[in-house]
Amino acid sequence: MKRFTKKNRNNPRRTTATIRDVALRANVAVGTVSRVVNNRPDVNEELRSRVLRAAADLSYRPNARGRSLARNSSTLLSFILSNRDFLHPFHSHVLQGVQEFCEKAGYFVMYTRFQYSPSIKASELILPLVLQSHGMTDCVVLAGTNYKNFSDALESRDIPYVLLANNFVSQGVRKPVNQVRFDDVTGAGEAARYLIQLGHRQICYIGDISMPWYRARYEAYLREMEKAGLQPMAQTLALSDDRFTNGLKSVQEVLDQKVPMTAIFAGTDDVALGAWEGLRRRGLEVPRDISLIGFDDQQGPLAFPALTTVRVDTGEVGRQLAKMAIARLTSSGQSIPEVLIPTKLMKRETCRPLLNMQRARRKS
């Protein structure tokens, strides 16, 4: 008799049908309904259709909360954008990719930001709200700029995560597991080589090399310059997340110093557009006076002539992150080797061969 004292059991103004209601109506046990709802094969067809009918009649929708409690898992990833002012187009596309893959896999994506200092000890780091209670999310996708203390904190708390590795800042090298990386080193090398092949000798790199992604590209540029016996030059003025202004100011600085230069390799498209603007303000034209290469190719066709740049398939980065996250969950906490996404130099209209190319060749 106790059973009929239950709260909502036979409360007519209850709005949503439960598995029990379906079972009652179909004259089967709740277990059977569960099996049908979860598409398990071991159900008599007669019963199955009776259940399906009843479910449809009651417009039954399984309750995600009950399910996740019973299964002790939801299907929810968290995309955490760390230490960024806002959702930049680059990360928009990554998020998009994550969402896309998740959708197909039946998972969902939460979007959160998280600001933290790299100098706080892992054990003392106050985690983002979404991680403060248990079971809000199954796995975390770390994007934005991250540091070891956060990943350590996650590990010590047994929170599964995957990492967008390019923007991970640490002294040593991170062991290449549970992370996705796009191959900006190869892309940057290709870009530098391309400029050199076009006959450029004075090639300036612009980008804040205190940040690891700019730095990786810079080092690839360095290697190519060295290989070609050329003198590298770099200029950077870091100004928060405003990369356009960074590029603009940096170029002004270079021009003020009267360093001779025929080409610019920028660490990011935004930086390139800013640099371009800086050139324009000094009456310099691209590519007539200065050749220009960017990085990312996320801006769409917002420039003319079309910007030569290194394309990063950010959508694919996101999809792979999601795939890896879901793999982590289903293959019980095992580490998964790094996934490397190739990049591609998009030769467009902002680079020109130098007229004195032959002379330059001879010199080398």
- For DNA, the binding residue among 12, 13, 59, 70 (CB under 7 A) is 70
The values of phi and psi at residue 160, to 5°, are -65, 140
CA-only gyration radius of the chain, Å: 27
| Minimal distance, residue 94 CB to its own copies, in Å | 10
Element (H, E) at 80: strand 76-82
Residues 6+ away with beta carbon under 8 Å from 57: 25
A 10 A CB-CB count for 215 gives 15
CA 24 to centroid of chain Cα atoms: 47
Answer yes or no whether residue 288 interacts with DNA by CB under 7 A. Answer: no
- For DNA, the binding residue among 24, 52, 58, 62 (CB under 7 A) is 62
Residue 40 or 359: the one with the smaller Cβ distance to DNA is: 40
What is the pattern of x (binds its own copies, CB under 8 A) and - over residues 149-178? --------xx--------------------
When CB distances are held under 5 to 8 angstroms depending on the partner's kind, the choice from DNA, its own copies, none that residue 282 binds is: none
219: alpha, beta or left, given left = phi > 0 and alpha = psi -120 to 50?
alpha
On whether the CB atoms of residues 121 and 89 are closer than 8 A, the answer is no
Q: Is the peptide bond before 89 cis (omega within 30 degrees of 0)?
A: no
Closest C-alpha among 330, 325, 358, 301 to residue 102:
325
What are the contacts of 162-167 at 24+ separation with CB within 8 A?
162/321, 162/324, 162/325, 162/328, 162/336, 164/94, 164/317, 164/321, 165/338, 166/212, 166/213, 166/216, 167/143, 167/211, 167/212, 167/213
Answer yes or no whether residue 111 interacts with its own copies by CB under 8 A. Answer: yes
Size of the site for its own copies (CB under 8 A): 54
When CB distances are held under 5 to 8 angstroms depending on the partner's kind, the choice from its own copies, DNA, none that residue 186 binds is: none
Answer yes or no whether residue 273 interacts with its own copies by CB under 8 A. Answer: yes
Answer yes or no whether residue 34 interacts with DNA by CB under 7 A. Answer: yes
Residue length of the chain: 364
Answer yes or no whether residue 54 interacts with DNA by CB under 7 A. Answer: no
Answer yes or no whether residue 12 interacts with its own copies by CB under 8 A. Answer: no
Answer yes or no whether residue 59 interacts with its own copies by CB under 8 A. Answer: yes
Report the C-alpha gap between 312 and 181 in whole angstroms. Answer: 10
When CB distances are held under 5 to 8 angstroms depending on the partner's kind, the choice from DNA, its own copies, none that residue 44 binds is: DNA
Closest C-alpha among 245, 172, 235 to residue 205:
235
CA 353 to centroid of chain Cα atoms: 35
- For its own copies, the binding residue among 11, 117, 132, 332 (CB under 8 A) is 132
| Minimal distance, residue 9 CB to DNA, in Å | 5
When CB distances are held under 5 to 8 angstroms depending on the partner's kind, the choice from its own copies, DNA, none that residue 110 binds is: its own copies
Residue 314 or 343: the one with the smaller Cβ distance to its own copies is: 314
Touching DNA, residues 78-137 (CB under 7 A): 134
For the chain, what is the largest distance between any 2 Cα atoms, rounded to a whole number of angstroms?
A: 99
| Minimal distance, residue 11 CB to DNA, in Å | 8
| Minimal distance, residue 87 CB to its own copies, in Å | 4
Residue 27 or 334: the one with the smaller Cβ distance to DNA is: 27
Which residues would be at the binding site for its own copies (CB under 8 A)?
Answer: 15-16, 59, 61-69, 72, 74, 76, 79, 86-89, 92-93, 95-96, 99, 103, 106, 108-113, 129-130, 132-136, 157-158, 242, 244-245, 270, 273, 277, 280-281, 300-302, 304
Which residues would be at the binding site for DNA (CB under 7 A)?
Answer: 2-3, 5-9, 14, 16, 18-20, 27-32, 34-35, 37-38, 41-44, 46-48, 60, 62-63, 65-67, 69-72, 134
